[in-house]
């Protein structure tokens, strides 16, 4: 399957039928740190085979989970999730293998990167000695118990693009995929420490929020342009949090009451990126059930269909497979048919070109048969 092959309606032959394969904190793969190269490879192939078995068309593989790499990168160290020691060579090339083996199975391989997250802790000494965050301590800020590259610094923006584009140059990936983390989710009682950078770079902006959104806009616009310059046909997709803005904050927002919105809280004007054509596809994470009064799946599918209409940007819907059958979730998630209803509902909108399921572990386990029901009803 070649780049750009997915598209069309959710039930069509060429639809996006994807799953995320997460590596951060060994969420989906590898099952634990320190496995042999042969065992890691075997586990990866099981996930790809399962995707084929469930009639999926694409795997979105997390290859840069915490400013480290699942390929031999000259920019960043080997990922900790492989050997348990960041910077230690695992003895094979996971991304190269994933691209080759996915394509052999007729699957697209989207390389999933997280632009700014450095660590799920705040101790730089726990990073590999050669980690750029240690070599350039001024690039890094602690916030909410984690370390991040500073999104407001032009040199950081250029570096993270360079680090991600290395994978595009080396491998025939079908797409570059970003998740929902730009500026970090707000933490109560903490202020993101960028006052100095705002004073230096923020002249001409009415507020720090406007400046932050501008820095994120530049990251997205530049990255799309650079991807196209490196390898023709590689698509650029973003999977944002599912609410752009609530209607209470903006009459053009969705009829939702979510506690977070990408525009106001993550400084990511996702609707603008669609309208400007800076991305090839958008895959909002609509991780709520039909009828949820705070953020109704049905309302958000309607809103996002309107957001992409006439833009040429593809719309895929991110689905919360991980909630299906989880006893901690609301009652609708205990019904094996809830996710299938999502696809039926979304099928009424010609703008919806498919769905992506979070994530591979649950695709494999098929708790309460929810994924099997999707496949039987729609695939």
Quick one: pLDDT at residue 240? 98
CA distances (Å), 28 to each of 119, 146, 196, 279, in order?
18, 21, 38, 27
Quick check: helix, strand or coil at residue 38? helix
CA of residue 2 relative to chain centroid, distance: 21
Return the structure tokens found at 190: 């903490």
In order, the DSSP letters of 232-294 are: TT-EEEE--BS-S-BTTT-TTSBS---S--HHHHS---HHHHHHHT--SEE--B--S-TT-SS
Q: Is the pLDDT of residue 147 over 80?
A: yes
Could you give the domains of the chain?
A: 16-120+149-378 (3.20.20.80)
| Segment 92-110 mean pLDDT | 98
Quick one: pLDDT at residue 271? 98
CA pseudo-torsion sign 323, 327, 328, 331:
positive
pLDDT band at 7 (very low <50, low <70, confident <90, very high): very low
Q: What is the pLDDT of residues 199-223, one digit of tens each?
A: 999 999 999 999 999 999 999 999 9
Q: What is the pLDDT of residues 173-182, one digit of tens each?
A: 999 999 999 9
Packing angle, helices 297-308 and 338-346, rounded to 10: 30
Return the structure tokens found at 212: 């932050």
Q: Is the pLDDT of residue 113 over 90?
A: yes
Return the structure tokens found at 266: 């993550």
Packing angle, helices 37-53 and 94-104, rounded to 10: 30
pLDDT band at 160 (very low <50, low <70, confident <90, very high): very high
Q: What is the pLDDT of residues 288-312, one digit of tens each?
A: 999 999 999 999 999 999 999 999 9
Q: Is the pLDDT of residue 3 over 60?
A: no
Q: What is the pLDDT of residues 239-273, one digit of tens each?
A: 999 999 999 999 999 999 999 999 999 999 999 99
pLDDT band at 197 (very low <50, low <70, confident <90, very high): very high
Quick one: pLDDT at residue 1? 34
Spatial distance between the Cα atoms of 181 and 254, rounded to a whole number of angstroms? 21
More confident of the two residues 88 and 9: 88
Q: Is the pLDDT of residue 8 over 80?
A: no
165 Cβ partners below 8 Å, 6+ apart?
226, 227, 230
Q: Is the pLDDT of residue 12 over 60?
A: no
CA pseudo-torsion sign 321, 327, 333, 335:
positive
**Terminal-residue alpha carbon distance, the chain:** 18
Q: What is the pLDDT of residues 328-363, one digit of tens each?
A: 999 999 999 999 999 999 999 999 999 999 999 999
CB 370 within 8 A of CB 321: yes
The verdict on whether omega for the bond into residue 359 sits within 30 degrees of 0, i.e. cis, is: yes
Quick one: pLDDT at residue 49? 98
pLDDT band at 135 (very low <50, low <70, confident <90, very high): very high
Beta bridge partners of 239: none
DSSP 69: B
Return the structure tokens found at 57: 């068309």
Quick one: pLDDT at residue 2? 37
Quick one: pLDDT at residue 268? 98
């Amino acid at each position: 399957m070649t780049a750009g092959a997915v598209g069309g309606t959710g039930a069509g032959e060429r639809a996006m039928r994807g799953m995320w394969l997460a590596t951060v904190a060994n969420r989906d793969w590898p099952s634990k740190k320190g496995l042999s190269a042969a065992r890691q490879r075997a586990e990866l192939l099981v996930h790809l085979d399962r995707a084929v078995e469930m009639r999926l068309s694409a795997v979105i593989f997390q290859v840069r989970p915490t400013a480290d790499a699942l390929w031999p990168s000259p920019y960043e160290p080997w990922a900790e999730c492989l050997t348990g020691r960041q910077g230690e060579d695992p003895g094979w090339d996971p991304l190269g293998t994933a691209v080759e083996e996915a394509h052999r199975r007729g699957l697209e391989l989207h390389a999933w990167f997280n632009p700014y997250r450095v660590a799920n802790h705040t101790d730089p000494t726990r990073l590999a000695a050669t980690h750029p965050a240690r070599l350039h301590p001024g690039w890094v800020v602690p916030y909410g118990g984690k370390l991040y590259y500073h999104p407001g610094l032009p040199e950081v923006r250029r570096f993270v693009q360079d680090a991600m584009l290395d994978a595009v140059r080396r491998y025939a990936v079908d797409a570059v995929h970003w998740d929902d983390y730009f500026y970090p989710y707000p933490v109560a009682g903490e202020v993101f420490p960028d006052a100095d950078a705002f004073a230096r770079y923020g002249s001409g902006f009415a507020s720090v929020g406007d400046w932050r959104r501008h820095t994120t806009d530049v990251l997205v616009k530049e990255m799309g342009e650079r991807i196209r310059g490196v390898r023709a046909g590689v698509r650029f997709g973003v999977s944002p949090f599912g609410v752009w803005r609530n209607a209470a904050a903006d009459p053009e927002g969705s009829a939702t009451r979510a506690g977070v919105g990408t525009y106001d809280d993550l400084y990511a004007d996702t609707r603008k990126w669609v309208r400007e054509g800076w991305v090839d596809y958008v895959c909002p994470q609509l991780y709520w059930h039909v009828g949820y009064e705070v953020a109704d799946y049905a309302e958000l599918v309607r809103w996002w269909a309107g957001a992409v209409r006439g833009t040429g940007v593809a719309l895929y819907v991110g689905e919360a497979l991980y909630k299906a059958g989880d006893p901690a979730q609301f009652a609708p998630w205990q019904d094996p048919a809830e996710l299938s209803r999502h696809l039926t509902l979304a099928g009424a909108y010609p703008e919806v070109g498919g769905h992506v399921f979070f994530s591979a572990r649950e695709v494999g386990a098929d708790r309460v048969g929810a994924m099997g029901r999707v496949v039987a009803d729609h695939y």
